[in-house]
Amino acid sequence: MNLASAKPIRVLVVDDHTLFRRGLTALLSRDARVQVVGDAADAGEAQRRAQELQPDLILLDNHLPGVRGVDAVAALQEAVPQARIVMLTVSEDEADMAAALRAGAAGYLLKTIEGDALIQAIVRAVSGDSVIATEMTGKMISAYLGGGSASGATPTLPTSPLDVLSAREREILRGIAQGASNKEIGRELGIAETTVKVHVQNVLRKLHVSTRVHAAVIATEIGLS
């Protein structure tokens, strides 16, 4: 993608702390790839603003007044189906993360993230990747494979996951499990990013999962990563 000619990613910031919203807006505005088009202090305002502004991505805090961020994901998705929703929160609770991902969030990041890393995560999320804080990766696997209260149930896996994938698709799945973006996988395998995207869609379909996160969990369980 030619960053000089590409349209900036339109972002809606949702957080109940005014100073944090202002600071985050200022931080994101330093990068030409991102344009903060608005902000909101609670879930209700976020839904109204999202419908009005039609952002590409919503950065959503969890600790909001009235309705928690994780409980607002589904309503926001309904309001703006094309928008990617990424949690940006202080909560390291695996139950919160699992709830957000099950509801359709494209990522779960912590507020300790560096500014440059946040920009990269936004770009990746809009390109279709799932973005998970490094500190939460282990908890993510526990939530989906542990069968505990965080996820409510373990994912349904094919009897032999690798048997349904071609050799190339296995390579793609390994890249997903390692947290690589489509561009990085393409560079590693020597194929076009658009080709990788098609393979990723086929992998998700064959494994009967809807997100890269679920596919990564399966790969981790079978030792493919």
State the CATH number of the domain containing residue 214.
Answer: 1.10.10.10
Q: Is residue 176 scored above 60 in pLDDT? A: yes
pLDDT-derived band at 225 (thresholds 50, 70, 90) equals: low
Q: Same domain, yes or no, for 59 and 104? A: yes
Q: Same domain, yes or no, for 75 and 166? A: no
pLDDT-derived band at 141 (thresholds 50, 70, 90) equals: low
Give burial (CB, 10 Å; 0-12/13-18/19+) of 153: exposed
Q: Is residue 222 scored above 80 in pLDDT? A: no
Q: Same domain, yes or no, for 21 and 65? A: yes
Higher-confidence position of 210 and 202: 202
Q: Is residue 213 scored above 80 in pLDDT? A: no
Span 19-33, pLDDT tens digits: 899 999 999 989 999
What average pLDDT score do residues 170-192 get? 90
Q: Per the domain annotation, does 199 fall within a domain?
A: yes
Q: What is the mean pLDDT of the chain?
A: 83
**Which structural domain range is residue 170 located in?**
161-221
Q: Is the pTM of this model over 0.85?
A: no
Q: Could you please report the per-residue DSSP string of the chain?
A: --TTTSPPEEEEEE-S-HHHHHHHHHHHTTSTTEEEEEEESSHHHHHHHHHHH--SEEEE-S--SSS-HHHHHHHHHHH-TT-EEEEEES---HHHHHHHHHHT-SEEEETT--HHHHHHHHHHHHTT--EE-GGGHHHHHHHHHS-STTTSSPPP--SSGGGGS-HHHHHHHHHHHTT--HHHHHHHHT--HHHHHHHHHHHHHHHT-SSHHHHHHHHHHTT--
What is the number of structural domains in the chain? 2
Q: Is residue 210 scored above 50 in pLDDT? A: yes
What average pLDDT score do residues 124-148 get? 72
- Model pLDDT, residue 48: 95
Query: Quick one: tokens of 157?
Result: 């896996």
Q: Same domain, yes or no, for 40 and 90? A: yes
Residue 64 vs residues 70, 138, 154: alpha-carbon distances, Å: 10, 26, 29
Q: Same domain, yes or no, for 130 and 166? A: no
Q: What residues contact 95, with CB distance under 8 A and at least 6 apart? A: 143, 149, 150
- Model pLDDT, residue 4: 45
- Model pLDDT, residue 150: 41
Q: Same domain, yes or no, for 49 and 108? A: yes
Q: Per the domain annotation, does 1 fall within a domain?
A: no
Q: Count of CB atoms within 10 A of residue 207's CB?
A: 22
Q: Is residue 5 scored above 60 in pLDDT? A: no
Span 35-45, pLDDT tens digits: 999 999 999 99
Q: Is residue 2 scored above 70 in pLDDT? A: no
Q: Per the domain annotation, does 155 fall within a domain?
A: no
